[in-house]
Each structure stands twice: as C-alpha cells, then as structure tokens.
C-alpha cells in the first residue's frame, strides 16, 4: 500500500497527511487587564478577552522575522495592536474581528479578515 501523495506548485511530491497536520494551529487565550505584550514564542492564534479598551504590543521586529499571528478579539471593547515600542498603531479590532499580523524582520504588516 502506498501513501497518498500530492504535488506542490513546483511539482514536488509530498504526503497528503502532512496537509492536515500543517493546518492544526496552536492557540492561546489571553485576558488583558492592562496593556499586554505578545511573546514571540506564543502560538500563531491569539484569542483576546478584555475588560475595557486595551492595547497589545507585538514582539520586536528583529526578534520576529517571518512570524505571523492571527489575533481575534472576543470582548465588546476595542483592542489596539501596536509595534513593540508602543509608538505606531498597526490596527484595531472590535468584538468578533480578527486580523493576521506578519513580520518580515523590519516591519509588521496587517492582513484583515472579514469573518464574524
């Protein structure tokens, strides 16, 4: 019996079970009572609950090259996402909004979703 395979866009074979495994993303649920700091070692999906409008800081760009986080706001407040020095707002999230934040090593970029 052979393992089912698929080909990527360059024609390289890989085993189909790896497709499912790569889509299993770890997550963390955090409750912010004050300004928060995302740790570079956190899993890629962050579910945020707050008790008021809050700010969360992304990791330093130099430490987060090729890092990606999907941040989803659960509470009925506004979450502001800023870079690590707390001088530049990269985006805001209201309740049931999420966005992907990606760092290339020098800049954090926001990719929005439209999922409720």
Q: What stretch of H or E contains 109?
A: strand 108-112
pLDDT at 87: 82
CA pair distance 69, 113, nearest whole angstrom: 13
pLDDT band at 11 (very low <50, low <70, confident <90, very high): low
pTM across the whole model: 0.76
For residue range 32-78, what is the model confidence (pLDDT) as tens digits? 989 899 999 898 999 999 999 999 999 999 999 999 999 999 999 99
Q: For the chain, report the end-to-end CA distance as a whole number of angstroms.
A: 43
Q: Which residues contact 17 (CB under 8 A, 6 or more apart)?
A: 3, 4
Give the 3-state secondary structure of 46-76: EEEEECCCEEEECCCHHHCCCEEEEEEECCC
pLDDT at 85: 85
For residue range 82-113, what is the model confidence (pLDDT) as tens digits? 999 888 899 999 999 999 999 999 999 999 75
- On the question of pLDDT at 20 being above 60, the answer is no
Q: Lowest-confidence range among 2-11, 19-28, 100-109?
A: 2-11
pLDDT at 37: 93
């Amino acid at each position: 019996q052979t393992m089912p395979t698929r080909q990527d866009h360059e024609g390289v074979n890989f085993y189909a079970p790896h497709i499912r495994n790569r889509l299993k993303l770890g997550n963390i649920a955090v409750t912010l009572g004050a300004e928060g700091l995302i740790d570079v070692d956190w899993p890629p999906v962050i579910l945020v609950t707050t008790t008021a409008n809050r700010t969360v800081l992304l990791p330093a760009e130099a430490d987060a090259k090729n890092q990606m986080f999907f941040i989803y706001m659960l509470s009925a407040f506004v979450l502001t996402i800023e870079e690590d020095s707390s001088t530049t707002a990269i985006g805001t999230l209201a309740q049931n909004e999420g966005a992907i934040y990606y760092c290339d090593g020098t800049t954090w970029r926001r990719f929005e979703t439209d999922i409720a």
